[in-house]
Copies of this chain bind each other. A is one copy, B any other.
Amino acid sequence: MENGHTTNAAERVQQSKRALRHELAEGALFTDQYQLTMAQLYFERDLHERPAQFDHFFRNNPDYGSHQAGFCVAAGLEWLLDWIDAARFTEAVLAPLRAQVDASGAPVFSDSFCNWLADIGSFESLSIEAVPEGRVVHPGAPMTVVRGPLAVAQLLETALLNQLNFQTLIATKASRVAEASRGRPVLEFGLRRSAEFGANAATRAALVGGAEASSNVGASYLMGLNPRGTHAHSMVQAFMALGEGELGAFRAYADSYPDGCLLLVDTIDTLGSGVPNAITVFEELRAKGHEPVGIRLDSGDLAYLAIQSALQLDAAGFDDVGIVLSSSLDELLIFQILAQIDSEAPRYGLDPARLVARLSMGVGSKLTASEGHPYLDGVYKLVSIEQDGESKPAIKVSDTPAKTPNPGDKSLYRIYDARGRSTADLLTIADADAPSGDAEIELRHPTQPNTRRRLAPDDVSEIEPLLTDVVVDGSRVAEPAPLDELRARRVRDIERLDPGVRRLVNPHRYHVSLSTDLFDLKQSLVETALRG
């Protein structure tokens, strides 16, 4: 290390501070305190190894206020499995648990409980089923099912929800931005306003959900992609302060990156200075045998500026260079900008489709913070526990019937209609009443007894089980899928949605239904619980 000032000792302090943070706050203790207090309670009653099942699902699609998601895109599973594989109850992790005392000064966690955690060491006693990453998922249908010893499955809750809630939230937002962008490339730029290192999960989720690339250098490399980026206003400012002006800055950029010349044109005056200076430099580049890449517009009326910039570029013979739009973009703003181009471009003799075809979208904070709905309401609910060698379905009764989870071990199917579009997800009692293409399928509303739909065999083109084994007795059953495969799943699932469900604003509600047997089981459990 070429390091005059910092001593090696200081460096070791910093490295060990980071190591401490990784071990203490990103490993097995990346959890809520109540998971540990409950686990200890189960341990003390010898319930800790009782086989149990938890379902993970979200209750509502994100509603961004002025616009609403009609579906979500599953993401985060691989990083969750990586976390599970690495999480360990080492003595370093257990030391603060052993030291924690309550108000009376007594230890909160007993030696015998901490020793049990040390003995199990990890989450390897669990089995996990999941809807694969990249797939379209709907409210109320389990995305993830965890089976294993009650206390161990309980201890996984927080980390599971954290990883899957967040990446699903961002992948969903990215899929909407991509939908609004009409197939034009979306670049994720959100790192500077994201939640600390959660930014890397956001970049991954955006890449799964709809972004073509990201400015985030490290996360892009992790995902096997080249990061994207050119220059900021500060570079133009620096050359201005040094007396070389915007043109000097652009010339320097073209000189350093002759085959990647994309210039930010709004530091001073987009149409009066930025675009003309860019054209000057593009002409110089072309004279040297290089083709310019494009310009970036980062402020103002982006539709108007894109039209006017295109006119200037076309007139100068640069009708192929790209135009990147950025500045607080989200799906609704992109939708509006493209609609404005459709309506205004012809007035200037421009073909709107040709203009749109040269655009890319740089989308930052509003994507990686999911502006308008910044968290997904995913939950993790106990649905069964073993008693006397038999699995007992568990229930939680809520004043809001929609919040009562569907009990017991279940199967999840996606049913496609005669056109090949997905028409409903169906939850059944596991394997007991699997739907078949040979008989009528009854779809029951999850809470309303008199709302039902019947699908005749002719109405159904395909019945697809959605949950697949991903961890069996602690071992991952498959290699992680490459990014391209996750993206292909998303594209295919979105194509098979009804256009009404894909709508950015006021989408149709997709049905997640119960089989009649499951509906009846749920009702009887609720009645029993309310009787006490």
Option from B231, B242, B366 in Cβ contact (under 8 Å) with A37: B231
Is there contact, CB below 8 Å, between B194 and A242? no
A237 at the interface (CB under 8 A from B): yes
| B residues near A37, Cβ cutoff 8 Å | 229-231, 256-257
Option from B234, B245, B370 in Cβ contact (under 8 Å) with A374: B370
A103 to B241 alpha-carbon distance, docked (Å): 32
Nearest residue, chain B, Cβ from A268: B397
Given contacts A24-B222, A241-B394, whether A192 and B157 have CB atoms under 8 Å apart is yes
A192 to B166 alpha-carbon distance, docked (Å): 9
A161 shortest CB reach to chain B, Å: 4
A260 at the interface (CB under 8 A from B): yes
Nearest residue, chain B, Cβ from A125: B5
A215 to B273 alpha-carbon distance, docked (Å): 54
A38 at the interface (CB under 8 A from B): yes
Nearest residue, chain B, Cβ from A121: B2
Is there contact, CB below 8 Å, between B259 and A196? no
A101 to B26 alpha-carbon distance, docked (Å): 34
- List A residues 1-43 near B (Cβ within 8 Å): 1-6, 10-11, 14-15, 17-18, 20-22, 24-27, 29-38, 40-42
Is there contact, CB below 8 Å, between A529 and B268? yes
- List A residues 365-387 near B (Cβ within 8 Å): 365-366, 368-371, 374-378, 380-382, 384-385, 387
Is there contact, CB below 8 Å, between B241 and A387? yes
A102 at the interface (CB under 8 A from B): yes
A299 to B24 alpha-carbon distance, docked (Å): 32
A53 shortest CB reach to chain B, Å: 11
| B residues near A400, Cβ cutoff 8 Å | 299
- In this complex, the member of A86, A236, A238 whose beta carbon has the largest number of chain B beta carbons within 10 angstroms is A238
A413 to B306 alpha-carbon distance, docked (Å): 42
Is there contact, CB below 8 Å, between A162 and B215? no
Determine, out of A197-205, A333-341, A416-424, the stretch whose residues face the partner at the interface: A197-205
What would 15 A/B residue contacts be, using CB atoms closer than 8 Å?
A6-B85, A6-B474, A32-B192, A34-B231, A37-B229, A38-B231, A40-B256, A41-B253, A102-B257, A161-B193, A166-B193, A167-B196, A193-B376, A241-B382, A245-B532
